[in-house]
Amino acid sequence: MTRVLFALLLAPLLLLCSQLARAEADLLPPEQAFRAELNRIDERTVNIQFRVADGYYLYRERMRFTLQPAGDLAPTFPAGVIKDDPSFGKVEVYKHDTAVTLHAANPLPDDFRIAVRYQGCAEAGVCYPPQTTQLSTANPGISGSKSAVDKLFGTKPAPAPAADARSSDAGYFSGSPITTLSLFFLAGLGLAFTACMYPLLPIVSSIVIGAGQAGRGRALLLTLTYSQGLALTYTAVGVAAALTGTLLSVWLQQPWVIGAFALFFVAMALSMFGVFSLQMPGSLQSRFSEWSNRLPGGRYLSVFVMGALSAAIVGPCIAPPLAAALAYIGQQGNALLGGGALYAMALGLGVPLVVIGVLGNSILPRLPRWTMRVVQNVFGVLLLGMAIWVARPLWQPWFAGQQAAVAFTPVASSQALDSHLGNVGKPVMLDFYADWCVSCIEFERETLSDPRVQAALKDFVVLRADVTRNSADDASLLRRFGLYGPPAMLFFTAGAQGPQQRVIGFQNADAFLKTLESLRTR
């Protein structure tokens, strides 16, 4: 119901954008809509500054950086805006000037080149083909050095984004760090009610016993110290995941890696459903417990060490949700957020332990036995959802390919188009399409699938120029008609070589039917 209301609210805006997009003069050439500049930071670090014109945006996932003639570059991306697209789901885009920091494995020479590949769209609904530009610079010397804090938490040399850069549609996580920390805390609290926490109960009991006859106040401080040891261990894991996430994100683009991760999350979901058990071998678990038991229970330092050791004991058991959390943190590339998120999750994990330590573990049997099973099943379902989400890049192109509601005749070059235009006795519609074009998929799914549109197009010869590969022939076809990218529908009268009318950008079924009707009356 929420999606329907959202669509109804956006429909007038989409219609207005499609009408404004008719005026091609309003569209900037790609070299003016998007500009890339290279700045050297130090001997191993460079900064790519992107200038994005108002009304345009760049896709983060479409950015590629290649050091020439050879070499590896690890990018650090700033946070963008999450665009909730009905066809491609949530994608991160940059609607304002932004910068990407590139880290080289070895010192860069005085003269080097970087091939920068990127792709963007206009808010009016037109997507540009992928662009590649060659950037080079002579070594100007160290223009500035990054502080340790910048290296740890990420630097954005670009100007601060406008106040609306993080709009309400910026997604559940990237839009609000407080929301992220809260959700991770709740996830940890949920994990605390699974059987994974049972090995920690004897340790918590030994802490309370080690406190002797001290009251609940001292027991509270000791159990809090214990939970801090647990939490800070997970914090270190979160920071490590964030710092290495930029390297992992490059591999995550590969189909075989995506498939492997999806299968991994499916396997982890099955473990949460009880199909098999995942935990540290009993012998190792016993050794850790024996080592911690040798420490005096009532001392804060030893209690803190107990908490850190407990993270190793319980870690493998909660590996499925922990792996999902680390995958998310690694994609963010923000060490502060990554460490804070795992710290919040560990705090949630430790809350029941603190309560048990203060009130006594006699309260544990009062919890229904089915509670743990329900919590594990919930996490299993969430992990299956994670598997589907991870695999989206694999099945979405196939799904989009099944959407074809109109039988198009493919046109691969200007010569092929001229051949078709000269040998038909009916009006012609030429559709420019690409797999990476959001509005093209939307037009395919919402407009061309309408039975009224399909009936109206029977009076036309329908051709399609698929410019997904952006080959020389694709670029030639686009230039011939002064187009910067799809979607575009050109209409030719019988025997004409030039278009009689053109539609640039998305049109819904009703608007497109009016366009077809106006062509019949001419």
Average pLDDT, integer, range 303-315: 68
Does position 207 have pLDDT exceeding 80, yes or no? no
pLDDT on residue 150: 37
Average pLDDT, integer, range 1-12: 36
Does position 96 have pLDDT exceeding 80, yes or no? yes
Q: Residue 250's pLDDT band (boundaries 50, 70, 90)?
A: very low
pLDDT on residue 429: 92
pLDDT per residue as tens digits for the range 347-388? 887 887 777 777 764 554 555 666 667 767 776 787 687 677
Q: Residue 469's pLDDT band (boundaries 50, 70, 90)?
A: confident
| Phi/psi-derived region of residue 428, left when phi > 0, alpha when psi is between -120 and 50, beta in every other case | beta
CATH placement of domain 403-520: 3.40.30.10
Cα gap 417→421, rounded to integer Å = 6
Average pLDDT, integer, range 294-309: 66
Q: What is the CA radius of gyration of the chain?
A: 29
Cα gap 485→145, rounded to integer Å = 40
Q: CATH homologous superfamily of domain 31-153?
A: Thiol:disulfide interchange protein DsbD, N-terminal domain (2.60.40.1250)
Average pLDDT, integer, range 187-214: 63
All CATH 3.40.30.10 domain ranges of the chain, comma separated, are 403-520
Q: Which helix (H) or strand (E) holds 33?
A: helix 30-33
Q: Residue 177's pLDDT band (boundaries 50, 70, 90)?
A: confident
pLDDT per residue as tens digits for the range 158-174? 333 333 333 333 333 44
Three-class secondary structure of residue 111 per DSSP: strand
- For residue 388, give every residue at least 6 positions away whose Cβ sits within 8 Å of its Cβ, in sequence order, or none: 262
Does position 56 have pLDDT exceeding 70, yes or no? yes
Three-class secondary structure of residue 119 per DSSP: coil
Does position 5 have pLDDT exceeding 50, yes or no? no
Average pLDDT, integer, range 31-48: 86
Q: Residue 44's pLDDT band (boundaries 50, 70, 90)?
A: confident
Does position 257 have pLDDT exceeding 70, yes or no? no
49 backbone dihedrals φ, ψ, rounded to 5°: -95, 125
Average pLDDT, integer, range 90-113: 85
Higher pLDDT, 249 or 63: 63
The candidate with the shortest Cα–Cα distance to 90, out of 412, 402, 392, is: 392
The candidate with the shortest Cα–Cα distance to 202, out of 310, 101, 118, is: 310
Cα gap 233→476, rounded to integer Å = 57
pLDDT on residue 144: 34
Give 383's Cβ-side CA count (13 Å radius): 28
pLDDT on residue 372: 62
Identify whether the C-beta of residue 229 lies closer than 8 Å to the C-beta of residue 304. yes
All CATH 2.60.40.1250 domain ranges of the chain, comma separated, are 31-153
Three-class secondary structure of residue 408 per DSSP: coil
- The top-scoring range by mean pLDDT among 74-78, 178-182, 261-265, 338-342 is 74-78
Q: Give me 213's structure tokens.
A: 């006859």
pLDDT on residue 164: 32
Q: Residue 206's pLDDT band (boundaries 50, 70, 90)?
A: low
Q: Give me 36's structure tokens.
A: 């890339």
pLDDT per residue as tens digits for the range 119-133? 888 887 777 888 888
Residue 487 burial (10 A CB sphere; 0-12, 13-18, 19+): buried
Cis previous bond, 199, omega within 30: no
Q: Residue 229's pLDDT band (boundaries 50, 70, 90)?
A: confident
Q: Residue 465's pLDDT band (boundaries 50, 70, 90)?
A: very high
pLDDT on residue 153: 39
Does position 490 have pLDDT exceeding 80, yes or no? yes
Average pLDDT in the chain: 70
Does position 261 have pLDDT exceeding 70, yes or no? no
Quote the percentage of the chain above a pLDDT of 90: 5
